[in-house]
Structure 1
Amino acid sequence: MYVIVGLGNPGNKYERTRHNVGFIAIDLIAAKHGIKVNKLKFKALVGEGFIGNEKVLLVKPQTFMNLSGESLREICKFYKVKNEEIFVLYDDIDLDVGRLRIRKKGSSGTHNGMKSIIYSLGFDDFPRFRIGVSKPQNGQDLASFVLSKFRDDEIKDISRAIDSSVEAVEVAIKEGIEKSMNLFNI
């Protein structure tokens, strides 16, 4: 079983923001594979289904970004999944809008949601799908930047990156993370 976690913040005011690209990706995976992500369990909205022949649990933590690890810790404890079967999709300010970077393991960088997950799980060797949202410009505050919506001129690139993240997850499940990295690290 794979646990596929998209990071974001709950609530209408955060929809379609840079910080919620993980939630957007989970919604696309759910729609594509007919999975309803509507059960509130483990401090998250979850939905079970299949991608190919593999069972998956789609997860949107409802703890707000900085406490995402609380939700994932409960899920991992309950389902006893292997590290390599935990996929986390999230925004990355160190990548330009439209870039996708897949890694098998690594640090949290500057991302508080990832810091929470690594701290709560006690390990960092799980695949992550980093979706580029760019850095703030002209001295803009980081928090207000990641909570802002994409500019019109960025919509095409971010849509492409999110679509690619969905395909990358599918390839990683069906053919392995190495294959996904080779095809989708752009």
Structure 2
Amino acid sequence: MKFLIVGLGNIGAEYAHTRHNIGFDVVEALAAKHGVGFRTDRLAAVAEFKLKGKQVILIEPSTYMNLSGKAVKYWMDKEKIPAEQVLVVVDELALPISKLRLRPGGSDAGHNGLKSIQELLQTTAYPRLRFGIGNDYPKGRQAEFVLSKWSPAEQPVVQKKIEACVEVIESFVLTGIERTMNHANKIEITL
């Protein structure tokens, strides 16, 4: 049984560890926990490990956010992984920084990475883990906010939440989305 875990983000040093790249940070933490590194492959950086007999493939699309669907579709097709065994980790403006939201499907909510995936898969029925980044920015400054780094005050919460995401992803692989959602959607990370 194979699972595809997709961290959304943009390649390039200027985007590293920004709010928009939290998907990359989460899959990197998962890879580190399981002692595997990423290799450069077609349309993505890829890492793989086994979790209690299940094959877990991690990708960070190298297509930039707006074309994430190309990488997701390629790896789903290549590895023959159905949509319900894909989990996309994505930043979410509509959630406070303390929250996570796991869903089996839903709208792209204006997120270009999810929009691209939806267009290429021709469905909204693929699981996603939304990482709340808050929305504390002045009117008209959304792009700058999303591409900004976490403040020193936010860092400890973000780190704890990345660790929580790693556990949520492992639970998704081992016990499925329904049981994992019951737990994940109640998580509130505060200091």
For the aligned pair, the TM-score class normalised by the smaller chain equals over 0.9
1:138, distance to aligned residue in structure 2 (A): 2.2
Structure 2 counterpart of 1:84: 84
Structure 1 segment 10-89 matched on structure 2, within 5 A: 10-41=11-42, 43-89=43-89
Q: Pairwise mapping of residues 128-147 of structure 1 onto structure 2 (< 5 A)?
A: 128-147=128-147
Number of residue pairs matched by the alignment:
185
Q: CA deviation at 1:140?
A: 4.9
The DSSP-based 3-state class of the residue aligned with 2:87 is strand
Q: Distance in 2 between matches of 1:126 and 1:90?
A: 13
SS of residue paired to 2:108:
coil
Q: Deviations over 1:63-94 (max 9, x none)?
A: 11111001111111212211111010010000
Q: How far apart, CA to CA, are the structure 2 residues paired with 1:52 and 1:37?
A: 21
Deviation at 1:50, TM superposition (A): 1.2
2:98 maps to what in 1? 98
Identity %: 38
Q: State how far apart, in whole Å, the 1-side matches of 2:60 and 2:14 are.
A: 16
1:66/1:112 contact within 8 Å kept: yes
Q: TM-score, normalised by structure 1?
A: 0.95
- 2:169 aligns with 169
Within 1, Cα distance between the matches of 2:27 and 2:54? 16
**Structure 1 unaligned regions, length at least 5:** none
TM-score normalized by the length of structure 2: 0.93
1:2 paired with 2:3, answer: yes
Amino acid at match of 1:27: E
